[in-house]
Amino acid sequence: MSDENETSNPDEQAMADEWAAALDEQEASGGSDVDDVWAEAMAEQGVDPDADPVNLDELHDESVPQAVSDNPDLEVILDIPVSLSMEVGETEIAIRNLLQLSQGSVIELDRMAGEPLDVKVNGTLIAHGEVVVVNDRFGIRLTDVVSPTERIRKLR
């Protein structure tokens, strides 16, 4: 348990190294159009997009119980698999229109191009993110994470 950040499988380590190299390469090349849009949005809200990353340990919320360090009973649930999904958008259509869909049909969603995706765990929103492509595989870069307090509030 002392090496939580290391992967146990050599294939997983190789994949992690590829992702890290690709992300470094993307940053070195100046990022993407999505990065530019994100930087503009951050600037509009008065946030410096080039600011140093925040140390998450400094953001400890005293009102939220500490999962592992303070309560060893929670150690039991840490290996339980959960369903992680990314939601591009949604829409409602009549069954008549649903039955008429075929290959090449286009369905309009409730989101604008460039808006962040919803990241959900077992159907509960936990973050927003943007799509990235690394070595011909899709991934998601988290841009905003819902606070633990807010996540707990939504569960009730």
pLDDT at 102: 92
Q: Which two tokens stand for residue 50?
A: 């080039």
Q: What are phi and psi of 24, to 5 degrees?
A: -65, -40
Give the SS3 label for residue 127: strand
Instruction: Tell me the C-alpha distance between 15 and 137, whole Å.
Output: 11
pTM of the shown model: 0.47
pLDDT tens-place string over residues 87-137: 888 899 999 999 999 999 999 888 888 888 899 888 888 899 988 888 888
Domains and CATH numbers, the chain: 81-154 (2.30.330.10)
Q: What is the per-residue pLDDT for 6?
A: 47
User: What are 54-95's pLDDT values in tens digits?
Assistant: 555 555 555 554 544 556 677 778 888 889 898 888 899 999
